[in-house]
Structure 1
Amino acid sequence: MLQVIGAGMPRTGTASMKAALEQLGFGPCHHMYEVIQRPEQSRRWSRVLTDDPVDWEYLLEGYRSAVDWPSSYFWRDLAAAYPDAKVILTRRDPRRWYASCKNTIFEFNARAARGENIGRSSEHEEFRQAVLDVMFQTSFGATIADIPAEEPSIAGFERHNAAVIETVPADRLLIYEPGDGWEPLCDFLEVDAPADAPFPHLNEGQEMRRMLQEGARTGRFATPFDRRDDAGTATRELG
């Protein structure tokens, strides 16, 4: 049963929020990494735009929280399906957000659309074409084969954030920005902050670019959440 809904767009600290929520006991936390790395997740989410009604319990089976796309794209539906769940809107400076997206996920998807091998599974390719392309067009006014322009992307980013703030009741919503730390999150979720543990800080732009380059070279896509091998390198081969 979903207890926390992340409504923030990708590249707003969602990897760090995933790690924080899991550390606070709200895990497992769903993230785009799950869809990229797990063929079964890709297959499930490939029908989210065509199924009527959508079976959210099936899509998010086993997860107690969800952040990042694809789930945050459907924040309205999830907020209605889980009326007792709390909503967290992660956000950041719009131009810094765009620069981060351009150098990471926009480039990643454009290269994949050109057929480059960057650790794709056939199931994720189906998800990319059936769902992610639509999400890009409605959010940024461009397909995944192109790198969306700055101004339409920022407009979509700000439109998304405004809709969340205007729609979700204030007592159910936390607006969270990188650097806010444990206190506002733990107060909102009514849990104690971890003793002597710094707030997770994962997936900075430079690290994500390194992961994408490694995926292009080896066909493996490593994430901050993978278990590390004997050499200390986190790797996980895609299905």
Structure 2
Amino acid sequence: MKVIVAGFPKTGTKTINTVLTEFGYKVYDYPENAFDYGDDWGRIFKEGWSVSDFQRMYRDVDAVVDVPCSYFWEEIHKAFPDAKIILSIRENEEAWLKSLENQMKMIDFNMLGLMQHLSPTFRKLERNMDLNFSPAMFGISDIRDIGRKPYNKELLKLKYRAHNAHVIQNAPSDKLLIYKVTDGWDPICKFLGVPVPNKPFPHKNKGGKYVIDIINSHPYARKMEKELLLSLLASATMIGIGGYMVYKIGFSNLRETSMNLFTSAQSYFCE
């Protein structure tokens, strides 16, 4: 492990992922953690962890970015004490919160919104990841709710400030970079000891586009998409069969037939 990115989501973590990948690092972001280590993280949140857990999980990984690793940055650093730490921040907490809210709203207005209900793989990821780190990191049962209904904005800003302050206070100063992606190549290249690339600095996930990119490209997302389509097809088939039965025998007869079947089943199982 060479780099631990300790910044909260929506502080330029996808841009930093791209930058580290440009430098040849093998990066584990939220999707890799969710899909490859979802069961490990589910156990970590429920039962606890040891240094050896993180040493095993990330022995062949160069950098970790985003949740849940940003929340566990200190524990991961104990497993890899030579790793450098990047605390990514926004220009202010209001900009961070607005960006986070927009990201959560984006989730409900694409295929991920349906996957939450119709993909078994997605629901497993929820149990292992989102529904565990949300209360621990943000003080909210499900961080996606901030895109759906009123929430305590001051609490979230407090969580953001407290996390950043904890990193600044506890990370070794000689291994810490406080970084805004608007600063471009120079600070991060100097910190990591790599030459500045002769290309424009990347800016990823503007407007929450990363969610759509994941759906379109990640192999596990493709699996969840297939599960979604199968669930939709099964639902449509059942609706079609029900509609056909109503058409053929009439609603009243269908209701009577259903009640007779229910009564027969009840009598059988209660005998």
Report what 1:237 is aligned to: 222
Report what 1:192 is aligned to: 195
Q: In 2, are the aligned partners of 1:8 and 1:90 still within 8 Å (CA)?
A: yes
Deviation at 1:120, TM superposition (A): 7.8
Distance 1:61 1:106 in 2: 35
1:171 to 157, 165, 174: 174
TM-score, length of structure 1 as denominator length: 0.78
Structure number with larger C-alpha Rg = 2
Report what 1:71 is aligned to: 69
Deviation at 1:83, TM superposition (A): 0.7
Q: 1:96 to 1:175 in 2, by over 3 A?
A: same
1:154 to 144, 154, 157: 157
Larger helix percent: 2
Matched positions, count:
216
One-letter code aligned to 1:164: V
One-letter code aligned to 2:209: E
1:198 aligned counterpart, secondary structure: coil
Identity of aligned residues (%): 31
2:49 to 49, 52, 55: 52
Report what 1:21 is aligned to: 20
Distance 1:112 1:163 in 2: 36
Q: 1:15 to 1:169 in 2, by over 3 A?
A: same
Deviation at 1:198, TM superposition (A): 1.5
RMSD: 3.0
TM-score, length of structure 2 as denominator length: 0.70
Deviation sequence 1:178-198 (CA, Å, 0-9, x none): 21111110111111111x212
Report what 1:100 is aligned to: 99
Report what 1:182 is aligned to: 185
2:39 aligned counterpart, secondary structure: helix
Deviation at 1:117, TM superposition (A): 2.1
Q: In 2, are the aligned partners of 1:14 and 1:67 still within 8 Å (CA)?
A: yes
Distance 2:54 2:11 in 1: 24
Report what 2:215 is aligned to: 221
Deviation at 1:236, TM superposition (A): 5.5
Q: 1:57 to 1:127 in 2, by over 3 A?
A: farther
Q: 1:109 to 1:63 in 2, by over 3 A?
A: farther
Report what 1:42 is aligned to: 38
| Alignment gaps of 5+ in structure 1 | 213-219, 228-234
Q: In 2, are the aligned partners of 1:21 and 1:29 still within 8 Å (CA)?
A: yes
Q: Runs (4+) of structure 1 moved beyond 4 Å?
A: 109-113, 118-121
